[in-house]
Structure 1
Amino acid sequence: MAQLDVQPKKHSSTWLWIIFFILAVGAAVLLYNGCNRTSPLRVDATDTTAHDSTKKDSNVIVTTQPDWNKIDLNIPKEQYDEITDTAIIVKGNDQYTIYSLGENILFKKGQSTLQPSSEVTLKQVASSLIKRYKDANIGVYGHTDSVGNTATNKALGEARAKAVKEWLNKKGGLPDDQVSVHSLGEQQPVAPNSTESGRALNRSVEIVAFPNKAAQ
């Protein structure tokens, strides 16, 4: 009888290499994905704040504030149909309009209390202001001649300007915060103070309407 020589099968090392290779590839893929995982989006709070501030600023309406110290009182005369009182002198340019009223129309000499007869004149001015300059900044200037000392004239000019402002607010229909007071006293005369006629012209009140360009 022939002898059957049976030996255990040798496992091929090829499968071992294949399995090792698969494991190695899998590990490499996992490692690669881990290193290149997308990082969360970082927001720079500083830049966002700056951007928002710019956006907010772009929505702010900037109003035009007049330089009350640079009003030229000698600008050309204007003619408004609603102004029929010859005691009111209207002057204007492309920036502002001036309603000029003499002292003799509004006050007694050296006083700051409005005369009753001045109301008719002030009503015309107030109506014109509301018609043409409803949203304007309005400044009331008090002027005097050079007789007396500078401080007294300054105080008188301010008192007269305040009296006119108060009338415009209470009886003229203009809001209180729309009208400001400015006293020039004897400064910026419109005529020489060397003559009585010149001094009379310098004793006046100017109501200046400075349109708010941003509101137009």
Structure 2
Amino acid sequence: AELIDNPTAGPVLRDYYTRLFNGWRATGNTTPRDSSARADYEIIPGPGGLQSVVVHETFEPFGIQANNAYRSFLFDMNSGRRLYLPDLFRPGVNANQAVSTAAAPILPPVLDAAAPPHAPGTYPFTVEEFQPDGDGPGYSGNYRAFALTGDALRLYMPDQPMSRESPSPRDRFSWSMDGGAVVANVPLAALAGQLKPEYEGI
């Protein structure tokens, strides 16, 4: 509510919520199965006048496991515009590559702790599966869902439910992954020199 009438964030959020609720209504009108849906949000202040809004969407058809998704919006309240991940980085820096490199050392314990319980370091909870590469985004979701806190780049992976049609190695089961199965905080210090100065945090 505190951002819906803001000239920077308001038009973007109003459009998003309108499309979200209209989509849910359309689904509810055409499916024979009862369902429920909700959207919880968190507002996260970041460095340099940045404000992240992270929406957790949950859609639950009756009798079936709920589907979760995370939608993120980043606003520079000083300049009055919406930012995307590449906008945080200096010219010439590949944002996905920079984040992948910085995330690699902190991901193993986060992946080991992710549900469902599993042996540490086992497929698909490996660093390689949660980083984009030449074969696609993997379970990283191409870092579409993220927030900037005062000292970290928070990643919600994947951003929405997804499956892996080509599991690696080939003899493993093909997994699906719910949105937000892994939430990782990459220290901004690990991205020092690559972020624009105003976004490097404290």
Tell which structure's C-alpha radius of gyration is larger: 1
Counting strand residues as a fraction of each chain, which structure ranks higher? Answer: 2
**Higher RCO, Cα 8 Å, sep 6+:** 1
Pair in the same fold by TM > 0.5: no
- Please give the range of the TM-score, normalised by the shorter of the 2 chains: under 0.3
Q: TM-score, normalised by structure 2?
A: 0.26
Q: TM-score, normalised by structure 1?
A: 0.24
